[in-house]
C-alpha cells in the first residue's frame, strides 16, 4: 500500500503563552488539495511551518511519502516545497540570477532547462532580467513559487496562496 503524500499525526505546537496547534492529525493523498481555514491566530501558519520543519513541534510527527521529518530530515525535505506568505527574494538579483542561485543550491539537473520550464509555466518570461527589488508583490510571489518548483517536489505547502 502506498504511503499518503502528507501525514500529520497528533501535531501539537506550544508557545509560552498559548497552544497554537492542539492534536492535529490528517492525511493528504497524491492529487488531493487540502486547505486550512480559520480566523487569524487559529494556527494555520504554525501548522504549515511545523509540518515543513521550519517550526519545532511540541509533540507529534510529520511524514512526506513515509519519510518522517524527525528521523529522515534530508529525504523528507527533498520531497517537499514550501511557499511562505511573505516573499523572501534577494532584491539585488534579477529573476534569472535568483532562480539560478537556487537551482544550483538544490542541485537541479539541467538547470537552464528547468528554470525555463518554471519561468514559462508561471508567466515570468518578461521578468528574467528585472531586479527583484523592482517587482510587484504578485510577481515576487510567482518568482518564489518558481524557485520552490525547481527541484520538482512531490508535495507543496502554500501559506496564504490567495494573498
The string of pLDDT tens digits covering residues 83-139 is 998 888 999 999 999 999 999 999 999 999 999 999 999 999 999 999 999 999 999
Q: What percent of the chain has pLDDT over 90?
A: 89
Task: Assign 3 a pLDDT band (cuts: 50, 70, 90).
Answer: confident
Query: For position 79, what pLDDT does the model report?
Result: 93
- Dist. CA 97–CA 147, nearest whole Å: 11
Query: For position 160, what pLDDT does the model report?
Result: 87
Query: For position 93, what pLDDT does the model report?
Result: 97
- Dist. CA 67–CA 83, nearest whole Å: 20
pTM of the model: 0.87
Residue 162 has pLDDT above 80, yes or no: no
CA of 154: how far to CAs of 135, 140, 157, in Å?
A: 28, 22, 10
Amino acid at each position: 500500500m502506498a504511503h499518503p503524500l502528507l501525514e500529520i499525526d497528533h501535531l501539537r505546537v506550544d508557545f509560552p503563552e498559548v497552544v497554537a496547534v492542539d492534536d492535529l492529525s490528517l492525511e493528504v493523498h497524491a492529487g488531493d488539495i487540502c486547505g486550512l481555514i480559520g480566523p487569524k491566530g487559529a494556527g494555520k501558519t504554525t501548522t504549515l511551518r511545523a509540518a515543513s520543519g521550519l517550526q519545532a513541534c511540541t509533540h507529534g510527527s510529520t511524514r512526506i511519502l513515509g519519510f518522517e521529518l524527525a528521523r529522515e530530515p534530508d529525504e523528507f525535505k527533498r520531497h517537499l516545497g514550501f511557499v511562505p506568505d511573505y516573499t523572501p527574494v534577494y532584491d539585488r538579483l534579477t529573476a534569472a540570477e535568483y532562480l539560478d542561485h537556487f537551482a544550483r543550491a538544490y542541485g537541479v539537473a539541467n538547470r537552464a532547462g528547468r528554470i525555463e520550464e518554471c519561468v514559462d509555466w508561471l508567466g515570468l518570461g518578461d521578468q528574467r532580467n528585472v531586479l527583484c527589488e523592482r517587482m510587484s508583490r504578485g510577481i515576487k510571489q510567482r518568482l518564489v513559487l518558481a524557485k520552490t518548483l525547481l527541484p520538482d517536489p512531490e508535495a507543496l505547502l502554500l501559506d496564504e496562496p490567495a494573498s
